[in-house]
Amino acid sequence: MKKLINGVENIVDEMLDGMTAAYPQYVKRLEGLNVLVRAGGNPGKVALVSGGGSGHEPSHGGFVGRGMLDGAVAGEVFTSPTPDQVYEAVKAVNGGKGVLLIIKNYTGDVMNFEMAEEMAADEGITVDHVIVADDVAVENSTWTTGRRGIAGTVLVHKIAGACAESGAELADVKRVAEKVIANVRSMGMAVNACTVPAAGKPSFELAHDEIEIGIGIHGEPGTHREKISTVNNIADKLLEKIFAEGIYAAGDEVAVLVNGMGGTPLMELLVANKHVKAVVESRGLKVARTIVGNYMTSLDMEGFSVTLLKLDDELKKYLAAPADTPAFVQF
């Protein structure tokens, strides 16, 4: 295993310190905790907190800032953060208008974030949550009951964050977040698996001419393995499952996210996006916004996921709203 690290036991700690060193204008770290919060504090609005295991960078700390998250909690690599860490994040970002937790649908995340919500409620803090489950690849997995939360979570961060930034109340921010969740679908694939530093070997093995379809973001293998083909053919298979959901129809406006899994060159993501856009438009949909890059990764996994979000006027407004974070800037 070749990794640019100092020690397996220090990766998350040093990563968080490295982020605060790079972006002090955006984030600060709570002392002794794996929690990043806005450097300037809560500007008197509903606060948003998300997080999960590390290894998905720039998620989630990269989205702390104006127009997105107020706090991000980092567990160890591919491990849910503890309830205590989430609880401390909630206390730190609470500005009196309530806190919304954005949780990806993994058993450990759901359990620990909901426990933290109860702890905060006992302290008189108003907290609510939403659960993102956008992955169409599997209904249940080793890590989940129900569908997994993957790259579509980033669009929940963006749109719910813009709603909160506008001064909306907690119930309205939750409603908007749930509207995104109801209308977003994703599916991913891998050319090569990731290597978790503590394991020291790839999470699954692929032959030189094989790819994995339907992977998760924690190094999980997918639904099936097949021979590698053109990126157009691969994108077709991902989109076929997404369109099979039946929630997209001719005339709809959509946002497209072509998300890199961490080890895929931007060149290849852009080639994939060219075909994704053509296929989406061939079905009579209008692409109102395209986002391409690494947003919800799986360490050094080579591959990509496609996300479609059906938009209405409200979601389109919040998606286009300003945001200023280390990993997402839009003016």
DSSP string over 108-149: HHHHHHHHHHHHHHHTT--EEEEEE--B-S-SS-SS-SSPPP
Q: How far is Cα of residue 15 from the mean position of the Cα atoms in its chain? A: 18
The pair of three-digit structure tokens given for residue 192, joined into one six-digit string: 């090569």
Q: Following CA atoms 149, 152, 157, 159 in sequence, which dihedral angle do they give, to the nearest 10 degrees?
A: -140
Q: What angle do CA 298, 77, 70 make, to 5 degrees?
A: 85
The pair of three-digit structure tokens given for residue 17, joined into one six-digit string: 């310190």
State the Cα–Cα distance between residues 32 and 35, nearest whole angstrom: 9
Query: How many other C-beta atoms are found inside a 10 Å radius of the C-beta of residue 79?
Result: 17
* 77 sits in which H/E element: strand 71-77
DSSP string over 238-268: HHHHHHTTS---TT-EEEEEEEE-BSS-HHH
Region of 312 please: left (phi>0), alpha (psi -120 to 50) or beta.
Answer: beta
State the Cα–Cα distance between residues 242 and 137, nearest whole angstrom: 9
Among residues 220, 211, 83, the alpha carbon closest in space to that of 144 is found at 220
Contact 319, 291 (CB under 8 A): no
Catalytic residue among 60, 157, 218, 275: 218
Catalytic residue among 56, 60, 157, 275: 56
Q: Which amino acid is at 310?
A: K
Would residue 56 show up in a list of annotated catalytic residues for this protein? yes
**Beta-carbon-side half-sphere exposure of residue 63 (alpha carbons within 13 Å):** 29
* 178 sits in which H/E element: helix 170-183
Would residue 129 show up in a list of annotated catalytic residues for this protein? no
Contact 145, 107 (CB under 8 A): yes
Q: Report, as residue numbers or ranges, the catalytic residues.
A: 56, 218
